[in-house]
Structure 1
Amino acid sequence: MFTGQQKLIIQRFDPDIHDRSAFSCQIADSLQIYFTGEEFIRDVVDLKILGGWVAADESGKVFGYYTLGMRTLDTKQIPNPEQLEFPFKTLNFVILSRIATCDDLRGTGYGQGLLFDAVKTAYELGSPLGAQGVYLEARNDEVIRIYENFGFFSLPSKSERMIYPFKDFLQ
């Protein structure tokens, strides 16, 4: 249980240090099942198709996590692609594959902090490699509003597909 006294540190996931077993995210069961199950270990540790970061206390107990990968988008999917100032037909984005906090952190602001860290990490890792921003697929309208408040905007093809241009992160 999170008491508010613990100091949470966001760092790369290490299966030898971080304890996923007690992570509980009832608001989005699929996020809990993914993180506490073998699929997370397969994606992040074994295959390394995603990078995993966790918000954990000093004992290694995890209270939140996010995963990042890469994604290419056709510029036809992006409104006003000329604003990104690249003449290419496709653009690279860092995909925020999953992000969740445990039930104890709901309403504390830690989720926003975790999202900010995810965008910052995506910028630091992706920008030098030519990524133009962060891409994600939101689960529902409530989550879309959360991301819109952070500065993400929906792609015209589907409102749950959203991007956050790195040029906005620098302002």
Structure 2
Amino acid sequence: MPSTVPASVFPEPITQPLAKSDSGSGFSCEHETLNRFFRESARQHQEKDISRTWVLRRSSSDDPALPPVLGFYTLSLTTLRRETLPSNIGKRLPNYPVPAIIIARLARDSRARGKGYGETLLDDAHLRALAINAQSGALCVIVDAKDASARDFYKKFGYEPLLSETDAPEWPLRMYLPMKDIRAAYTENT
């Protein structure tokens, strides 16, 4: 099987680019650092080409009591040293940093808790990562789990800690999921 799959095979992402008005939407999750980033920095980072923030907005079919912004995630590019990956992956890589995509932040509003919006956001981020991978290549997607709850959330989707991170302070915990596993999850369902 080729390393890339035509984008037309995958469903379209459902999020929208961050808008000026989103920072004043009243978004609020359990982590004040994420709230502050969304209110104060997301737009600036986007304007400076540091990252892209994607927003899941309440639709007409959602409960009108839910907040206007149900959640968001931010994507950026990074590199990994092969030593941070398990030897069965790292030994086949070149001896210089390899490209990866990082979901730098992902959060859903606490008022939307338990409704599956976190999973929806992660699924959407994976679709965008596949599109980026088709254009430029990336070995994996990386996340920074902020606490045990976030770690457990990402583990459900196959994310594992990077090796160098197991000796680091416990939080945030940097985790990865190989792009080939993400691709396989979508091609198996088509």
Deviation at 1:61, TM superposition (A): 3.1
**Normalising by the residue count of structure 2, what TM-score does the alignment of the two structures yield?**
0.75
Match of 1:163 in 2: 176
Gapped regions of structure 1 (runs ≥ 5): 1-8
Q: Which residue number in structure 2 is paired with residue 51 of structure 1?
A: 52
SS of alignment partner, residue 165 of structure 2:
coil
The secondary structure found in structure 1 opposite 2:163 is coil
> 1:77, 1:146 → 2: CA distance?
21
Higher relative contact order (CA 8 A, sep 6+): 2
Which residue of the partner structure matches residue 145 of structure 2? Answer: 138
Alignment of 1:27-46 (within 5 A): 27-37=30-40, 39-44=41-46, 46=47
| Divergent runs of 4+, >2 A | 22-26, 57-61, 80-89
Offset of 1:130 from its aligned partner?
1.6
Distance 2:92 2:68 in 1: 43
Contact 2:57 2:70 in 1 (8 A): yes
CA contact (8 A) 1:65 1:99 kept: yes
Given that 1:132 and 1:165 are in contact with CA atoms closer than 8 Å, whether structure 2 keeps it comes out as: yes
Alpha-carbon distance in 1 for matches of 2:16, 2:91: 30
Deviation at 1:62, TM superposition (A): 1.9
Distance in 2 of aligned mates of 1:134 and 1:115: 11
| Matched length | 159
| Helix, strand or coil at the partner of 2:177 | strand
Q: What is the identity, as a one-letter code, of the residue corresponding to 1:41?
A: R
Q: 1:58 to 1:143 in 2, by over 3 A?
A: closer
Report the Cα distance in structure 2 between the residues aligned to 1:81 and 1:71, rounded to whole angstroms: 21
Cα distance in 2, alignment partners of residues 146 and 155 from structure 1: 16
Q: How far apart are 1:58 and its partner, in Å?
A: 5.3
Unaligned runs of 5+ in 2: 1-13, 61-66, 167-172, 185-190
Of 126-135 and 70-79, more deviation after overlay is shown by 126-135
Q: What is the rounded CA distance, in whole Å, between the counterparts of 1:164 and 1:148 in structure 2?
A: 10
Q: Distance in 2 between matches of 1:127 and 1:133?
A: 12
Q: Report the identity percentage.
A: 28
1:11 correspondence with 2:27? no
Tell me, yes or no, if the aligned pair for 1:43 and 1:49 is still in contact at 8 Å: yes
For 1:58 and 1:68, locate their aligned partners in 2 and report how far apart those are by CA, in whole Å: 23
User: RMSD of aligned C-alpha atoms?
Assistant: 2.2
